Amino acid sequence: MGKHELLEMTRSLIDHSKAGTMAQAETVMAIPATDYTDEKLFDTEKKEIFRRLPLMVAPSCELPEPGDYKAMDIVGVPLLITRQKDGAVRAFLNMCTHRGNPLVQGTGNAPRFTCNYHGWTFKNDGALMGVASPKDFGDIDRAAFCLKEFPSLEKAGLIWVTLDPKSPLSIETFLCGYDDLLSHFHFENWHLFESRVLSGPNWKTAYDGYLDFYHLPVLHGNSFGTDFYNRANYFAWGPHQRVATPSSKIRGPEDEEPVDLATMDESEWPEDAIMTGVWTIFPHISIASFYGGGVRGAMISQLFPGESVGDSFTTQFYVMEKKPNDPEVIQGAHEQFEFLKHVVRDEDYATGKRQHEALQSGLMDQVWFGRNEGGGQVFHGWVKKLLNTPDDGLEALFGAERTATS
């Protein structure tokens, strides 16, 4: 795994580039159009996928200091993530163990949390620290009233949490070794420049777009240009996928010529050049790196289902390899982030919403994924597979995938 596998993928992309080919799926695949519009299926997906599988809840740079915290709601579960004194990350149910009132909102830094309903106070490690008017309330075993903790893991500069305290699936097994590859971004040392939330279409419609280069020169013709490559090779580790253009030429900073890896010795290949493409973490993350303002950055898109089947919301984290200090670099980064908002909100998600409204007519039985859209085929295959896998079968399912890719 790791560097060796990155080099192997790069060789494959260069070979396909020279041959003018791309890796393709075995056949064209159809799925029911109702997979995008059925409310009951949507509720099942939230329960069986988002409340059972590990989710990437934050980049590490969003909580860089001891005492930092983040509160968020995921498919109805109030979550509190905290950075401990020793630097470790822990995750708790964001509910006071007295009456269930959420302890905190948003982000900040605090060594303890006091419930604004009755004044119970908790340490940021989840321990109950104080009960208001304890003599009046009565004797309790404080150890039994600690915040409920969720399984969590910080790896490759990213933080995962499973919203099931008793989950039989380890986060390491779920990642299928994919985290070893993501570690080559070195996100643990990056800087969070800015973030925002965008509303979107059905979560699967949005995720389809993450895995699709086929649409780039058409839908984004006015943004990227019509000569933008529409071919992609797909590399999978269980349900997690990398999508990359079969080309040897890699774009760098705007003022530099593209790097042609085919003309270089492998020992000279820059690490950022072999990490190109879109890296998706099932079921809801997309990572794409680029140069904005001449400095390397990445857009980490965090997608969650909304209240209804036709809605989702995405937090876009713009992270940068180095904290910018130069005014021109800062301005360039702002412009890049605004450009990406336009591309996603006004082109990708606006199209997805129109698509969803049309599918709700019920007059189209199936939607199709071509041989050149293997990423979508893998994604929808895993959605169905997980809806049919019981809790006690998850560890074996992902364990087999991890073994196969190691």
At 250, the pLDDT band (50, 70, 90 cuts) reads confident
At 240 the pLDDT is 98
How far out from the chain centre does Cα 53 lie?
13
Question: pLDDT tens for residues 56-95?
Answer: 999 999 999 999 999 999 999 999 999 999 999 999 999 9
Q: How far apart are CA 143 and CA 127, in angstroms?
A: 7
Q: 69 in a domain, yes or no?
A: yes
At 258 the pLDDT is 84
Q: How far apart are CA 357 and CA 369, in angstroms?
A: 20
At 367 the pLDDT is 98
Q: Quick one: tokens of 236?
A: 């999978």
Q: 163 in a domain, yes or no?
A: no
Q: 202 in a domain, yes or no?
A: yes
At 255 the pLDDT is 62
Looking at the fold, whether 73 and 34 belong to one and the same domain comes out as no
Higher pLDDT, 320 or 294: 320
Computed on alpha carbons and rounded to an integer, the radius of gyration of the chain in Å comes to 22
At 228 the pLDDT is 64
What residue has token string 């790069």? 10
Higher pLDDT, 161 or 258: 161
For 292, residues 6+ apart whose C-beta sits below 8 A from its C-beta are 318, 320, 332, 333, 335, 336, 337
Looking at the fold, whether 151 and 259 belong to one and the same domain comes out as no
Looking at the fold, whether 351 and 206 belong to one and the same domain comes out as yes
Looking at the fold, whether 31 and 63 belong to one and the same domain comes out as no
Is pLDDT at 295 greater than 80 in this prediction? yes
At 226, the pLDDT band (50, 70, 90 cuts) reads low
At 321 the pLDDT is 95
Looking at the fold, whether 141 and 259 belong to one and the same domain comes out as no
At 225 the pLDDT is 64
Q: How far apart are CA 257 and CA 250, in angstroms?
A: 9
Domain end, chosen from 128, 155, 182, is at 155
At 307 the pLDDT is 95
Vertex 182: Cα angle to 8 and 124 (nearest 5): 165
The CATH number for 129's domain is 2.102.10.10
For 205, residues 6+ apart whose C-beta sits below 8 A from its C-beta are 36, 352, 355, 356
Q: How far apart are CA 365 and CA 361, in angstroms?
A: 10
Q: How far apart are CA 358 and CA 356, in angstroms?
A: 5
Q: Of 367, 391, 369, give the one whose Cα is nearest residue 49.
A: 391
Looking at the fold, whether 149 and 193 belong to one and the same domain comes out as no
Looking at the fold, whether 118 and 147 belong to one and the same domain comes out as yes
Domain end, chosen from 99, 129, 155, is at 155
The CATH number for 210's domain is 3.90.380.10
Looking at the fold, whether 21 and 92 belong to one and the same domain comes out as no
User: What is the DSSP code string of 167-222?
Assistant: -SS-HHHHHTTHHHHHGGG-GGG-EEEEEEEEEES-HHHHHHHHT--TTHHHHTTT
Q: Quick one: tokens of 271?
A: 């690490």
Is pLDDT at 8 greater than 80 in this prediction? yes
At 252, the pLDDT band (50, 70, 90 cuts) reads confident
Structural domain of residue 101, as residue ranges? 56-155
Q: 162 in a domain, yes or no?
A: no
- Which amino acid, one-letter code, is at 47? K
Q: Give the count of beta carbons closer than 10 Å to the beta carbon of residue 120.
A: 21
Q: How far apart are CA 159 and CA 58, in angstroms?
A: 5
User: Mean of the per-residue pLDDT values for the chain?
Assistant: 95
Higher pLDDT, 296 or 225: 296
Q: Give the count of beta carbons closer than 10 Å to the beta carbon of residue 323.
A: 13
Q: 160 in a domain, yes or no?
A: no
Looking at the fold, whether 80 and 223 belong to one and the same domain comes out as no
Is pLDDT at 109 greater than 80 in this prediction? yes
CB 89 within 8 A of CB 82: yes
Is pLDDT at 195 greater than 90 in this prediction? yes
- Range 301-307 contact pairs with CB under 8 angstroms and sequence separation of 24 or more: 301/210, 301/344, 302/56, 302/57, 303/200, 303/203, 303/206, 303/207, 303/210, 304/50, 304/74, 304/75, 304/203, 305/42, 305/45, 305/46, 305/50, 305/75, 305/203, 306/199, 306/200, 306/203
CB 327 within 8 A of CB 293: no
Q: 166 in a domain, yes or no?
A: no
Region 394-405: mean pLDDT is 91
At 33, the pLDDT band (50, 70, 90 cuts) reads very high
Cα separations in angstroms, 275 against 181, 199, 398: 9, 28, 24
Is pLDDT at 182 greater than 80 in this prediction? yes
Helix 203-210 vs helix 374-387: crossing angle, to nearest 10: 140
Q: What are phi and psi of 66, to 5 degrees?
A: -55, 135
Q: Of 309, 380, 352, 355, give the one whose Cα is nearest residue 39.
A: 309
**Count of domains observed in the chain:** 2
Judging by DSSP bridges, how do beta strands 285-292 and 278-281 pair with one another?
Answer: antiparallel
Domain end, chosen from 113, 131, 155, is at 155
Q: 165 in a domain, yes or no?
A: no
Question: pLDDT tens for residues 357-369?
Answer: 999 999 999 999 9
Looking at the fold, whether 89 and 219 belong to one and the same domain comes out as no
Region 231-253: mean pLDDT is 92
* DSSP state for residue 47 in the 8-state scheme: I
Kindly report which listed range (99-108, 299-308, 339-348) carries the lowest average pLDDT score: 339-348
At 403, the pLDDT band (50, 70, 90 cuts) reads confident
Q: Give the count of beta carbons closer than 10 Å to the beta carbon of residue 242.
A: 23
Q: 161 in a domain, yes or no?
A: no
Looking at the fold, whether 258 and 343 belong to one and the same domain comes out as yes
At 402 the pLDDT is 85
Looking at the fold, whether 47 and 64 belong to one and the same domain comes out as no
At 126 the pLDDT is 98
Is pLDDT at 1 greater than 60 in this prediction? no
Is pLDDT at 224 greater than 80 in this prediction? no
